Amino acid sequence: MFNKKIIFSLLALSSAPIVGAQNWDESLDGGGDSGIQDAAQPVALEGTFTTISGSLDPAGGDHVDCYQIKVSDVTSFYATSDPGVDPAAVIGEPDTRLWIWNEDGSAIISGNDDSPGQPGLLSVVADPVSGPIAYAAAPTNPVTTSLVDDNLYVLCLSYFPNDPEDVGLVDLVDMATFEALNGPNPAAGPFAAYENTGSDPAASYTLAFAGAEGTVVEYSVGGTLTGLLAGNDVTLQNNGGDNIILNANGPYVFPTTLSDGASYDVTVLAQPTGPLQTCVAVNSSGTIAGSNVTNVDVSCDNLDLIFRNGFEPTP
């Protein structure tokens, strides 16, 4: 009996985002073969996607493909190799297994030969409690941890008999009871490696998804406004076009978020006029470095009080 797997797990993001794309291709978009664990390929898209395409060649040493994805809606999320579940799926190797993994390498959900479209051949993974899939059989050794909206996970695909193992080379799959939807071997530890014993011929695949998004994470730019008088407002601008009008002191955030590595440049576009004030931004430019920017502080002084006797400061 032939088997194939897909594994999900959270990992760091690396690729530049592709905006509006609906299909991710391992080579065309990812730049080459995807690996496992920290070599997993981020699906560097902004927003939803519907398919991932790639290929495996166990005889040539390419035993497993893993992808970083975000589950955006648990109630609608699934990943499948079965065109009977989703006609966008195309599989060159007929027997598959799918997994979803956590950031730490622990298994969340696994699927093998359990698709309602073609039970005994193809697979589907979805949240066992809230997801949209009615499995062909009840789990015999289920992973009970549910998925969480907007969390990142890792997806991997392999052909039989390349099973995931822990650091002690103990299989995470209990093959003796792998009849429908199964979790990992409870005695084994987190995912650490993959067996490389298969010699199946090379085959391409297209996996179909719902409720999934790319892994591009956006960060906000903001700070704190002080010194603005009641009834006044000040207009700030970021990168020459992202404007925000502030009419009260306190924290503020620009409406447009930025990707990691993007530049920001905050300026005062329009000064307060009633009464006259001048506002100045500090820490106003830089580069996003994997976190929100919160220190672009803006302070305002009251020109009307300073210069109301001409250019002589008030005593």
Rounded to an integer, the average pLDDT of 99-115 is 74
Of 1-10, 30-39, 60-69, 233-242, which one has max mean pLDDT? 233-242
Residue 115: pLDDT band by 50, 70, 90 thresholds?
A: low
Report the share of the chain in percent with pLDDT over 90. 37
Rounded to an integer, the average pLDDT of 108-124 is 68
pLDDT of residue 8: 31
| Beta pairing, strands 41-42 & 64-71 | parallel
Q: In DSSP terms, which residues pair with 208 in a beta bridge?
A: 51, 80
* H, E, C per residue of 190-215: CCCEECCCCCCCCEEEEEEEECEECC
pLDDT of residue 253: 95
Cβ-based neighbours of 214, under 8 Å, separated by 6 or more = 17, 18, 21, 24, 42, 43, 44, 45, 46, 47, 49, 69, 70
Residue 54 has pLDDT above 60, yes or no: yes
Of 111-120, 213-222, 257-266, which one has max mean pLDDT? 257-266
Residue 188 has pLDDT above 90, yes or no: no
Query: How many C-beta atoms surround the C-beta of residue 306 within 10 A?
Result: 15
Residue 11: pLDDT band by 50, 70, 90 thresholds?
A: very low
Residue 233 has pLDDT above 90, yes or no: yes
- CATH value of 218-306 in 3.40.50, 2.60.40, 1.20.120, 1.10.150: 2.60.40
Half-sphere exposure of 308 (CA within 13 A, CB side): 9
Bond before 275 cis per omega within 30 degrees: yes
Residue 166: pLDDT band by 50, 70, 90 thresholds?
A: confident
Residue 6 has pLDDT above 80, yes or no: no
Residue 3 has pLDDT above 60, yes or no: no
Residue 176: pLDDT band by 50, 70, 90 thresholds?
A: low
pLDDT tens for each residue of 289-311: 878 999 999 999 987 555 545 55
pLDDT of residue 305: 53
| Domains of the chain by residue range | 4-213, 218-306
Residue 206 has pLDDT above 90, yes or no: yes
pLDDT of residue 103: 75
* H, E, C per residue of 33-57: CCCCHHHCEECCEECECCEEEEEEE
pTM here is 0.66
- d(C-alpha 267, C-alpha 241), whole Å: 10
- CATH value of 4-213 in 2.60.120.380, 2.40.160.60, 3.20.20.70, 3.20.20.60: 2.60.120.380
Residue 17: pLDDT band by 50, 70, 90 thresholds?
A: very low
- Contact status, residue 36 vs residue 11, Cβ threshold 8 Å: no
69: left (phi over 0), alpha (psi -120 to 50) or beta: beta
